[in-house]
Amino acid sequence: MSIPIAAPEPLAQGTLRVTPLGGLGEVGRNMTTFEYGGKILIVDCGVLFPEEHQPGVDLILPDFEPIKHRLDDIVGVVLTHGHEDHIGAVPYLLRLKQDIPLIGSGLTLALVEAKLKEHRIKPYTLTVTEGQQESVGPFDLEFIAVNHSIPDALAVAIRTPAGLALATGDFKMDQLPLDGRITDLRAFARLGEEGVDLFLVDSTNADVPGFTPTERSIGPVLDQVIGKAPRRVIVASFSSHVHRVQQVIDAAHAHGRRVAFLGRSMVRNMTIAEQLGYLHVPENVLIDYKKARDLPDDRIVYMSTGSQGEPMAVLSRMANLDHAIEPGPGDTVILASSLIPGNENAVYRVIDGLTKLGANVVHKANARVHVSGHAAAGELLYCYNILKPKNVLPVHGEYRHLMANARLAQDTGIAEENTIIGSNGTVVDLKDGKATVAGQHDIGFVYVDGSTVGEITDADLKDRRILGEEGFVSVIVVVDSATGRIISGPEIHARGVAEDDSVFDDVAPKIVAALKEAAGNGVRDNHALSQIVRRTIGRWVNQKLRRRPMIVPLVIEA
């Protein structure tokens, strides 16, 4: 469906308005608002991790702009599971209003509360379990067990007089999960009988045919790799992947090795998971990493963060020999995770760096050390046939994933006009079983850069890229404020341009001539003179050096 680029009309009575503020056209910053009767329910509030073309950025948040002026109308935030792309932006939302209630499963809320503690925020929370029903404002919520790559994930059915919406969160249909907790298809079937008016469904693996392999299939591979490793083993995974960590611990224990957690988030999350009973650790298996260095090399497994090549994460620092643990010949490094789109180059740099140090690097391309946490096409087809939804809004994925998901829905008999391919900010209104696109908010990227939130713009990032790729040229000129005559300069300095500053001797007379002409025409404005300098040297650098550096002219009046 085509999306009208227009602000939506005021919400009509008896209508449910659904607006994704993140997670469409990208893998991350998942967040969707549901509005009915003047009240707003939010499902998920996650972050997106920056790519190489966003230098210096720490995190990317959903754009809260459409709800900033309506914080008092928010009745709660439902968190489907504890991954960063679904909970990571919660602290930034609660900075705007700290008493917004958070609703989720035990593990999910424990992970969020630990994160909020670092931001000195104590949240209002409501812990729910599968099968539980809660009324929050005008929304009647039912929580349904779904299987994912983290325990305690929930889908949420949202009932209003306008209709029933079902948001899956991230899910798959692992029939042999480690914790025995499968996606509750009986509940899906019951909702299908009731009638699902709008289905918001995970699209991440919609373009992958067949079925996602079971998590248990990784266990024997990890056991074999760890069993054969001659020296130290370093396993990198997401810091919240409890099932993956459990299998590493089991394999290490089976081969007489102890396990040390590396990385603040890994230590924090696994401590929480063990305390709540989601992670089962045999006695005397865990060891502090400082003490672990005293063990024989063939008796230790390090469980670390950094599987996505993040520059400051443990594995990247190891590859750069910037960590107390330095991988070397005979060590085995296992990357037990997927590649998030956009991170491929960073991950392969880490793999190359570890290989150069002599380590044996085992990853998804050469061994089954990862399976996805998302439903593939075969599983999604089952969902569509069980639920028979009237309308579908694919979410959680890049554009190709959304399109693939919509095609699957249409293959099962859902009309094309009832499958909505939206983008962040698309406004969908639901009434009497019919979903229509009601408008489009202008949604942008909100960058977290150090301690600043939302201050960095795309123009700033463009400047950073230019600085990194093309270099920097400064030009200082002192002019007489009365006559415009040059008193001193131009003094030209360059950084990152590769040539000696003397190369600019040829352009200095051109700058002098341009300023002299401007003075003769009566130009005295400092900004206008600076732009003349910028254009003159910019044109010359482009023609002679084939570069487009950042040019900073400084015209000083005397």
Residue of 172, 9, 89, 207 lying closest to 454 (CA atoms): 89
Q: Where do the CATH 3.60.15.10 domains begin and end in the chain?
A: 16-210+372-453
Instruction: Confirm if 135 and 162 have CB atoms less than 8 A apart.
Output: no
- Residue 443: CA atoms inside 13 Å, Cβ hemisphere, count? 26
Q: Which SS3 state, helix, strand or coil, does residue 390 take?
A: coil
For residue 313 the two structure tokens come to 């994460």
Q: Which SS3 state, helix, strand or coil, does residue 382 take?
A: helix
Give residue 1's pLDDT: 47
Phi, psi of 421 (to 5 degrees): -95, 100
Q: Where do the CATH 3.10.20.580 domains begin and end in the chain?
A: 471-557
411-426 as b/e, with b when 16 or more CB fall inside 10 Å? Answer: ebebeeebbbbbebbb
Burial (Cβ within 10 Å: 0-12, 13-18, ≥19) of residue 500: exposed
For 181-228, how does the pLDDT look when each residue is reduced to its tens digit (9 = 90+)? 999 999 999 999 999 999 999 999 999 999 999 999 988 999 999 999
Angle between helices 264-275 and 242-254 (to 10 degrees): 90
| Sign of CA pseudo-dihedral 429, 431, 435, 437 | negative
For residue 186 the two structure tokens come to 């009986």
Peptide bond connecting 123 to the previous residue in cis, omega within 30 degrees of 0: no
For residue 90 the two structure tokens come to 């919660």
For the chain, list residues with pLDDT below 70.
1-5, 51-58, 306-312, 339-344, 450-452, 454-457, 460-470, 481-484, 497-501, 520, 523-524
Instruction: Confirm if 76 and 35 have CB atoms less than 8 A apart.
Output: no
160-186 as b/e, with b when 16 or more CB fall inside 10 Å? Answer: bebbbbbbbbbbbbbeebbeebbbbbe
Give residue 2's pLDDT: 44
For 88-130, how does the pLDDT look when each residue is reduced to its tens digit (9 = 90+)? 999 999 999 999 999 999 999 999 999 999 889 999 999 999 9
Cα–Cα distance for residue pair 500/523, rounded to 1 Å: 32
pTM of the model: 0.82
Residue with tokens 């067990």: 145
CATH code for 16-210+372-453?
3.60.15.10
Residue of 335, 362, 423 lying closest to 63 (CA atoms): 423
Give residue 341's pLDDT: 60
The CATH fold of domain 471-557? Ubiquitin-like (UB roll) (3.10.20)
Chain centroid offset of residue 535 CA:
39
Q: Where do the CATH 3.40.50.10710 domains begin and end in the chain?
A: 215-362
Residue with tokens 């005293």: 294
Task: Bin 486: left if φ > 0, else alpha if -120 < ψ < 50, else beta.
Answer: beta
Q: What single-letter DSSP state applies at residue 23?
A: S
Return the CATH architecture of domain 215-362: 3-Layer(aba) Sandwich (3.40)
Number of Cβ atoms within 10 Å of the Cβ of 63: 21
Instruction: Confirm if 107 and 278 have CB atoms less than 8 A apart.
Output: yes
Residues in the chain: 558
